[in-house]
Amino acid sequence: MSEQRTQQRRSQEQDKNPLQSDRGNTTIQDTVVSKIAGIAAQEIEGVRMGGGASQTVGGVLDSITGGRAGGSQTSGVSVEVGQEEAAIDLTMTVEYGKSISQLAEAVRNNVTSRVESLVGLRVTETNITVQNVFFPEEEDQGQQQEVEGEGQRRSRVQ
């Protein structure tokens, strides 16, 4: 009989929200979940967060701040956070030539895994909107031109 009680107690403890305890509650802000979800999505090769316009604005801000603006981590991420659950909406651009369905599933799995393990909230859904495609060759050429332009600007200042 006592073995059944022990198992029931363990089951109840596992069902209990890890962010709430007898010693206090932990509240997770939306921005924390947004940042973790954005970083997790970008861990998948061939994915850029946000659509074309937000990527352009993010690129300009990163060039001004040296990549420390932080906006690119939450660009294209919208979340609803409750006390036990989170719902995540992602808008992204994907690399041309890669399977969109495979990228979306990889992003969905990674985002869900990261948010659940790092934050302790159960992810009820991760909705993905693919807004655009990018060509890595064009991106590499743009970065090369940017580097060359910086070198020219520096020479005028010295």
Tens digit of each residue's pLDDT, the chain (158 residues): 556 554 554 444 445 677 888 899 899 999 999 999 999 999 999 999 987 544 444 444 444 445 544 457 889 999 999 999 999 999 999 999 999 999 999 999 999 999 999 999 999 999 999 999 999 887 665 555 555 555 555 544 55
Alpha helices in 66-99 (DSSP H): 71-74
- Six-digit token pair at 28? 């997770």
103 C-beta neighbours (distance < 10 Å), count: 20
Q: Residue count of the chain, please give it.
A: 158
- Six-digit token pair at 5? 């009680």
C-alpha angle 66/43/36, rounded to 5°? Answer: 80
Amino acid letter at 70? G
Which has the closest alpha carbon to 112: 72, 79, 146? 79
Alpha carbon distance 93, 48 (integer Å): 5
Q: What are phi and psi of 129, to 5 degrees?
A: -115, 120
What is the set of domains in the chain, with CATH numbers? Answer: 26-150 (3.30.70.1350)
Place of tokens 């990018």: 134
| pTM (two decimals) | 0.69
pLDDT value of residue 152: 54
- Six-digit token pair at 85? 């659950």
